[in-house]
Amino acid sequence: MEQETQKILYSAVQPSGNLTIGNYVGAIRNWVKLQHEFTCFYAIADLHAITVRQVPAELRRHTLELAALYIACGIDPEKCTLYVQSHVSAHAELAWILNTITYVGEMERMTQFKDKAAKHAENVNMGLMAYPVLMAADILLYQAHVVPVGIDQRQHLEITRDIAGRFNNRYGETFRIPEAYIVKEGAKIGSLQDPVHKMSKSDENPNASVYMADDRDTIIRKFKRAVTDSDNRIAASEDKPGVTNLLNIYASFKGCTVAEAEKEFEGKGYGDFKLAVGETVADVLAPIQAEQKRLLADKAYLSGILTRGAQSAAYTARKTLSKVQRKIGLYRGE
């Protein structure tokens, strides 16, 4: 492997809808910190998004909105490579090659495939099944050392490691075996209506998730309706998932510990507490929303960033893909 001065990190988010504050706390906000520690490739995973049906015009709009959101949150295109996945054809090319050494049984056992197949029974397509192989291609193209993962993504990284190891054993040392980068802070933000489950951008209950694009009144209204419990005591514990979730959200957005948050609200009622959580979240999101709006008004600027990012990503990806093509015996005219 080539020697880098910094370790390489890869991560991506789908432009399949409005991101929640859980996506922000659990992923994008951490990316801002990580861009100073690693050589980062941050993608907008539009090829992954089309494994479920998308409205074409909305997918294009969401792609640009996500790029603007990345930058508004603090992702610096001068410090990392920010690009759209489909703009680098090597992702699809390597995924096809990796499909040939990946077994159907492995894909059928993937939790996300089973969940999505149940949820989209009318559209159980091959892309949905091969989703983890494309994810493996995403990561392995850039010889990533680390991949930030949450609990629900560890299975995908494990299959990536298995595929990379299998290819290396069959064709010789080619891929770096990536490690998980576990981000503990804000790893899970629960649903406001069912806090034992993760906040999801696809939740059918409009009051369950707070979206990055929600206005101040909407944010505060959703927190006022958040599930708590009947004893009116603001303390984190396993038997108080709703209150614990709100404390975690408040601490994440206020920049304090849960213990400090508990002390701040000691003796106060749930009404004051939920209002404070909503206002704190809204205060953090307001400048991000304003900056995203400003960026979206200059589409030429955003397109330029994504074009340069794709060129940079393609240069790195092509080196790996060329090596793979030679290893498996594809004639390249050399």
Catalytic residue (choose from 198, 222, 240, 274)? 198
Neighbours of 264 (CB within 10 A): 16
201 is a catalytic site residue: yes
Interacting residues of 212 by C-beta distance below 8 A, sequence separation 6+: 18, 19, 20, 21, 23, 24, 69, 285, 288, 289
**Secondary structure, 3-state, 292-312:** HHHHHCCHHHHHHHHHHHHHH
What is the DSSP code (8-state) at residue 19?
A: P
Q: How many CA atoms lie within 13 A of 52 on its CB side?
A: 16
Compute and round to an integer the Cα radius of gyration of the chain: 21
Catalytic residue (choose from 7, 188, 201, 327)? 201
Structural contact between residues 98 and 133, judged by C-beta atoms closer than 8 angstroms: yes
The phi and psi torsions of 266 (rounded to 5 degrees) equal: -60, 130
Cite the active site residues.
116, 198, 201
